[in-house]
Chains A and B, each alone.
Chain A
Amino acid sequence: MARAAVPGGLSPRLVWRAARLVEFRDETPSARTLVFDVPDWPGHLPGQHVDVRLTAEDGYSTERSYSIATPADGTRVALTVQLVQDGEVSPYLTQTLSVGDVIELRGPVGGWFVWRPADTAPVLLIGGGSGVVPLMAMIRARRAAGSKALFRLIYSARTPEDRYYADELRTRARDDFGLDVSYVYTRKTPEGWPLPPRRLGVADVNNGGWPPDFQPACFVCGPTGFVEAVADILIALGHDARRVKTERFGPSGT
């Protein structure tokens, strides 16, 4: 990881950093990408996350984790946050935070759920709802690094309107050689979709994924219930548990 060397060989203690919102973009009616400028950002790997801390005027503060949506890019750090209606932090991030405002974040953290551009094994990405965020960082990093690793993304969303990065994924599925993208809709499908809305099942993983003999690196991310179900499917299909990495976002979301 691109961490500044410190005399004595110890990496610097992880500190809260001030992050200024420089731009935002609505991905769906209820999800917003927030781009922060973080001075002295040490860089990160796709799949890593940050902890965000919000503090109220009376000193009350709380923390949440958010995956980084983009590959390392200087002092820019992009997150995509799903609005959870009765949530404490996500309504603030998606509805109140304005350009120029400063929040605190700590990171990058997490060395497990990461894809390294030097890895050549085929990759299977399965995301539910906001779980596509760290997977998108991997897809973007793959192209940025000129990696030839074969990637497949299976993306489960409630409705077509709930897909994050829809235009970009359409373009990349066409232009990024070796990237396939397939969708599963759980509430409403696009016009003329061959299947009714339903939960992601064995057939979707079979069709949109890689056979276990290819020994793909599998990354599964999303709400806890979704990840539980998909991880079970992968193991049942014969994927080695050691190659199935998961990131559960908790009970909220899709």
Chain B
Amino acid sequence: MGGIVSPGFRGRRGVEGGEVRLPPGQYLTEDFPVLTAGPTLRVPTDTWEFVIVTETGEKHRWDWQQLMALPSERPTVDLHCVTKWSKLHTSWQGVSLDVLLEGVDTAADYAMVHSYGGYTTNLPYEDLLHGQAWIAYKFDGEDLTPEHGGPARLLVPHLYLWKSAKWVRGITLTDEDTPGFWESAGYHDYGDPWREQRYQGD
């Protein structure tokens, strides 16, 4: 798609990548762009719930108080958005999926993440485990704003950011991989930024 270069045009991008190593095709950004496939949702915490449903239909439910009562972690991670920006060293607070899945009896291979508002995204079950994924409710020490998916979003920073579903509501564990909102419209089922798995077939 190489177009005519506009001299002096840089886009909304901060400093040059320079020494930092970024996944292929990514550009560094300093701010935190808001991406959304629909209206921003305001989900009140008093009715908020998070539900894990296993492949046998067993349900595990947490309300906001219960989530807050669980041990939390404060990961600092790099974010890579498929729209080509990367933001480094972002700090979060949330509950590891290892904690939430501890008492869940499953042999599922895949997970479908559901959000308030109807958004979905799929990923392998394994990618939720081993300190790779959190239900995050604080960003930079502050409550996560609705624009960025608050009160709580999934955070799976080793995959492109569309997998880190905003306004997360639940996860369904399944034996088969079914494509989610973007995965059924051309985006990659796995989405590893380091292998530049943007689109199906990448």
Contacts and interface: CB of A to CB of B under 8 A. Distances in A.
Q: Do chains A and B touch in the complex (CB under 8 A)?
A: yes
A103 B27 CA distance: 22
A93 to B, nearest CB: 10
A61 interface: yes
Contacts of A16: 3
Interface string A36-80: 000000000000000001111111111000000000000000000
A104 B4 contact: yes
Contacts of A56: 5-6, 9-11
Given A60-B27, A60-B84, A92 B3 contact: no
B38 interface: no
Contacts, number: 47
Interface string B1-30: 111111111111100000000000001000
A96 B9 contact: yes
Contact of B12 (A55, A88, A97): A88
A60 B11 contact: yes
Contacts of A26: none
A233 interface: no
A102 interface: yes
Nearest to A17: B4
Given A60-B27, A60-B84, A18 B9 contact: no
A102 B4 contact: yes
Contacts of B7: 57, 101
Interface of A: 16, 18, 53-62, 86-88, 92, 96-97, 101-104
